[in-house]
């Protein structure tokens, strides 16, 4: 499946348009796609604090628990379609992991010619702290947003489901599914995995407030739901909570990540990043 070390992670800008009372299905789909395209084009690079609690239970009832804290850096680089995301785990069950304080952020702000390669190495190292045997593909908070981009329109099918209300504001619920390859997520041997999910967006503006992504193959499946809120200091919409469940015939993994302390930063390295097609 898609690797955790290099993923697009676009932010969510705060919409400027007031929600309308009703919206047709084609208009709702168009507004969500337009909003997704806008924030990938205009959003800044951000860093956030992540607290990630994981619970794994196997079929014999044996359970394991782990809590990590990390620095999640979401970088806009020249040549990237959106954000490139790097996670640097700082503590595991309250125990520090080496000399980690802001090393990733400092590295990406440096002018070292190999800074990007070093950042990838840090993220790969941090992935070992994922609990359980299921290979993670969706444990970054904006994995579902990639499916909403207009550049994937020929391969993604949308369906308007219904209208709801979240925090007193009207939202439209859209279902999306991959109907053709190459898929955005692939398994460890490179085989296409067609994903599906839902998006909750404010009526009129297309401003995204919740996403759900589901991926399934023969022996495992994963589900990831992300809630978004407006950061009052930055004035943009950001992920605030991610809830996951991964399951196989032998194991179930539940995880919840919470995000806080978002900050803008400037990237000094000038490397060009191209999103990998799969893992």
Output the DSSP codes for the chain.
---SSSB----EEPP-SPPPS---HHHHHHHHHHHHHHHHHHPPPEEEEEEEEEEEEETT--EEEEEEEEEEEEEE-TT-SSEEEEEEEEEETTEE-SS-TTHHHHHHTS--TTHHHHHHHHHHHHGGG--SSSPPSS-STTGGGGGG-GGGTTTEEEEEEEEEEETTEEEEEEEEEE-SSS-SEE-TTS-EE--EEEEEEETTT--EEEEEEEEE-SSEEEEEEEEEEEETTTTEEEEEEEEEEEEESSEEEEEEEEEEEEEE------------S--
171-180 burial code (b ≥16 CB/10 A, e <16): bbbbebbbee
Give the other-Cβ count within 10 Å of 276's Cβ.
12
Look over the chain and give the mean of its residue pLDDT values, rounded to a whole number. 80
How far apart are alpha carbons 278 and 275 in whole angstroms?
9
Q: How many residues does the chain have?
A: 279
Assess if residue 219 is contained within a domain.
Answer: yes
What is the domain extent for residue 145? 12-264
**In the block, residue with structure tokens 């785990």:** 89
* Domains in the chain, number: 1
Range 59-78 average pLDDT: 86
How far apart are alpha carbons 5 and 275 in whole angstroms?
11
The reported pLDDT for the residue numbered 1 is: 35
13 closest CA partner among 49, 41, 52, 55: 41
The reported pLDDT for the residue numbered 2 is: 37
Assess if residue 270 is contained within a domain.
Answer: no
If phi > 0 it is left, if psi is from -120 to 50 it is alpha, else beta; for residue 94 that is left
Task: Return the higher-pLDDT residue of 124 and 90.
Answer: 90
Assess if residue 271 is contained within a domain.
Answer: no
Q: State yes or no: pLDDT of 21 exceeds 60.
A: no
The reported pLDDT for the residue numbered 8 is: 32
The reported pLDDT for the residue numbered 279 is: 32
Assess if residue 279 is contained within a domain.
Answer: no
183, 171 contact by CB (below 8 A) = no
Task: Return the higher-pLDDT residue of 140 and 235.
Answer: 235
Assess if residue 269 is contained within a domain.
Answer: no
Assess if residue 4 is contained within a domain.
Answer: no
Give the other-Cβ count within 10 Å of 156's Cβ.
22
How far apart are alpha carbons 14 and 235 in whole angstroms?
7
How far apart are alpha carbons 81 and 195 in whole angstroms?
20
How far apart are alpha carbons 166 and 98 in whole angstroms?
42
Assess if residue 3 is contained within a domain.
Answer: no
User: pLDDT by residue (tens digit) across 161-216?
Assistant: 899 999 899 999 999 999 998 998 888 788 898 999 999 999 999 999 999 999 99
Assess if residue 6 is contained within a domain.
Answer: no
Give the pLDDT band of residue 31 (cuts 50, 70, 90). very high
The reported pLDDT for the residue numbered 146 is: 86
This prediction's pTM: 0.81
Whichever domain contains 26, its CATH number is: 2.50.20
Q: What sign results for the dihedral spanned by CA atoms 223, 227, 231, 234?
A: positive
């Amino acid at each position: 499946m898609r690797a955790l070390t290099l993923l697009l992670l676009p932010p969510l800008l705060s919409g400027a348009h007031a929600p309308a009372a009703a919206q047709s299905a084609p208009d709702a789909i168009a507004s969500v796609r337009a909003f997704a395209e806008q924030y990938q084009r205009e959003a800044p690079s951000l860093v956030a604090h992540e607290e990630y609690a994981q619970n794994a239970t196997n079929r014999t009832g044996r359970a394991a628990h782990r809590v990590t804290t990390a620095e999640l850096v979401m970088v806009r680089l020249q040549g990237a379609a959106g954000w490139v995301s790097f996670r640097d785990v700082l503590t595991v069950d309250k125990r520090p992991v080496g000399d980690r304080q802001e090393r990733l952020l400092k590295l990406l702000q440096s002018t070292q010619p190999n800074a990007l390669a070093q950042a990838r190495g840090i993220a790969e190292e941090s992935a070992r702290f994922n609990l359980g045997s299921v290979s993670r593909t969706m444990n970054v908070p904006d994995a579902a947003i990639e499916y909403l981009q207009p550049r994937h329109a020929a391969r993604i099918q949308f369906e308007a489901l219904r209208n709801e209300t979240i925090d007193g504001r009207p939202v439209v619920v859209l279902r999306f599914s991959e109907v053709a390859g190459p898929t955005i997520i692939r398994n460890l041997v490179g085989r296409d995995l067609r994903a599906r999910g839902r998006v909750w967006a404010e009526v009129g503006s297309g401003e995204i407030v919740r996403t759900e992504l589901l991926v399934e193959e023969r022996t495992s499946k994963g589900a990831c739901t992300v809630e978004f809120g407006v950061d009052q200091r930055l004035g943009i919409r950001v992920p605030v909570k991610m809830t996951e469940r991964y399951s196989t015939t032998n194991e179930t993994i539940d995880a919840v990540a919470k995000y806080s302390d978002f900050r803008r930063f400037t990237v000094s390295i000038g490397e060009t990043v191209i999103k990998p097609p799969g893992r």
